[in-house]
Structure 1
Amino acid sequence: MKSLYFEDLVVGMRESLLKTVMSDDIVGFADLSGDHNPIHLCDLYAAGTRFGGRIAHGLYTASLISAVVGTRLPGPGAIYRSQTLNFHAPVRIGDVVAVSVEVAELVEKGRRARLHCEATVDGKVVLDGEAWVSVPPRPSPHA
């Protein structure tokens, strides 16, 4: 895990992660969130939907953005202010999700960063959006 301060950030910085979606991840997210929609949990039910099988929760995929923000860019100390999400395609068990976060804008007042966020599967965008985060300043050397 790395921690960046506001002064370390520049527009265009990017971090990413890869995550293979497993059935246990979906079940765990359902237990954590309380969202037990059978589209996520029941093979028989999901087979009869337009998706033809179980899919991951959209917010599970979005939570992978939070993993990048909280551990890589900007990292520990960053606090979410807002997040927009656009869902474009389902994520299925076994899919490898590539999540990227890029610094799109820096606002000195309040030490805020606007981040472009994107998740892809096999090069196809499944989710995108924008996050605003507060980023801690570099500690004073005299503190």
Structure 2
Amino acid sequence: PHKMSLEEPGRLEEERRLAYVGITRAMSKLVITYAETRRLYGNETYNKVSRFVREIPPQLIQEVRLSNSVSRPFGAVSRNMGGNSMSGDSMFAGSAVPDTGFNLGQRVQHSLFGEGTILNFEGSGAQARVQVNFESEGSKWLMLSYAKLQAL
């Protein structure tokens, strides 16, 4: 739902009704997408999946990702069509950043930005860049060879 719908009574239910109509029109297969992150005025924002999608029974959802760079998992667990779920935040949680000693989802400390969580990476070894979501500073891309991150 649009954030303006949350402020006006009745608009949220109207958006829910419209979402339901759209979903029920699918004949055999429905694909729902959303943007996990957006860059707006130079700042990266992290979006949640719609509450209407979260209301769909988990056994009917199959999460598909096009690459293994996950910035935030869809839900608490990865799901497949059979209804079986895998433990962990995502199928990529804990994936190692090659030749660095760091993993996706790992908590780290930076001398300037404070504590954060590794969300994504590019490259390997000393030339690797990691995306860290800091509690007070938001998301930052850092060169590991300069950042001097400490594992928590």
What's the TM-score bracket when you normalise by the shorter of the two chains?
under 0.3
Larger Rg: 2
Higher relative contact order (CA 8 A, sep 6+): 1
More helix by share: 1
More strand by share: 1
Per the normalisation by structure 2, the TM-score is 0.21
